[in-house]
Amino acid sequence: MKVVVTGASQGIGKALAAKFASNGNKVIICSRSEIKLQAAQAELRSLGGEVIAKAVDMSSEPAVKDFANWLLKEGIVPDILINNAGNFLPGSIYNEPQGTLQQMIEVNLYSAYHLTRALLPAMMTKKQGHIFNICSIASLQAYANGGSYSISKFALLGFSRNLREEMKPHGIKVTAVCPGATMTASWEGADIDPSRIMEANDVVEMVFAASKLSPMAVVEDIILRPQLGDL
């Protein structure tokens, strides 16, 4: 299978790419940082799978569309598309810096929206495929200091649910993935009891399992939280 993972130079995205690559899939990864992307590609290739990497600023609509066109020109119509690219800026709506909402929407919503729209016609022609949108617990529950990040993730969940309804007649599955606190680069340096936070592989195993179901079944939403509750 051909698997496209955005925001895959680190964290959950990299872990997802590793899982699919190690299971014999052709994996295409992208991220904004060329240096981190090359390091991730080298590491993933050591797992034995075919891994292609391309630097893309997923907050830029023209860059996202260029990436999609490049994929199609290379004959890469995803069997699995994982929209993982995203960013987190803490703050409250009433006092966060001007432009925060725009930035969060561009990275956390528009990246998935523009890439998916560009690839869908080819996927619909094949009448098969699976799209995973990496949302967040913040898509379901507002929390202090979530601000525009939470707004953008609520929007990504709404996008996922609308897209799922639209794609049912075309054989394309859509799964919204809503993880709680997960140990990634965002939490590095934080003084957190390991028992209070999930591992990236917890998310990976759920996504991978959902991707293995028959064409007649779909996991619509994956919701994971630390066993002791949200942080």
pLDDT digits (tens, 9 = 90+) for 63-94: 999 999 999 999 999 999 999 999 999 999 99
Provide mean pLDDT across the span 92-116.
97
Helix axes 111-126, 61-73, angle to 10 degrees: 20
Catalytic-residue membership of 149: yes
Q: What is the pLDDT of residue 224?
A: 97
Q: What's the pTM?
A: 0.96
Reported confidence tier of residue 118, pLDDT bands at 50, 70, 90: very high
Torsion of CA 140, 143, 145, 150, to 10 degrees: 10
Average pLDDT over residues 127-141: 97
Largest CA distance in the chain: 49
Q: Which residue has the tokens 């394309």?
A: 172
Q: Is the pLDDT of residue 223 over 90?
A: yes
**Average pLDDT estimate for 90-108:** 96
Q: Which of 110, 28, 114 is nearest to 71 (CA)?
A: 28
- CB burial class (10 A; 0-12, 13-18, 19+) of residue 194? exposed
**Section 103-113 average pLDDT:** 98
Instruction: Say whether 51 sits in a helix, a strand or coil.
Output: strand
Distance CA 186, CA 200 (A): 12
Rounded to the nearest integer, the mean pLDDT of the chain is 95
The interaxial angle of helices 34-45 and 11-22, nearest 10 deg, is: 30
Percent of the chain with pLDDT over 90: 89
pLDDT at 49: 81
Cα angle vertex 98, ends 95, 103, to 5°? 115
> Which of the four pLDDT bands, split at 50, 70 and 90, describes residue 55?
very high
Sheet-wide strand order for 80-83: 50-55, 26-31, 2-6, 80-83, 129-134, 172-179, 221-224
Domain 2-224 falls under CATH 3.40.50.720 = yes
Using the predicted structure, report yes or no on whether residue 110 has a pLDDT greater than 90: yes
pLDDT band with cut points at 50, 70 and 90 for residue 183: confident
Nearest to 203, CA basis, from 2, 56, 1, 5: 5
Q: With cut-offs at 50, 70 and 90, classify the pLDDT of residue 192.
A: confident
* Mean predicted confidence (pLDDT) in 196-217: 96
The pLDDT, as a whole number, for residue 8 is 96
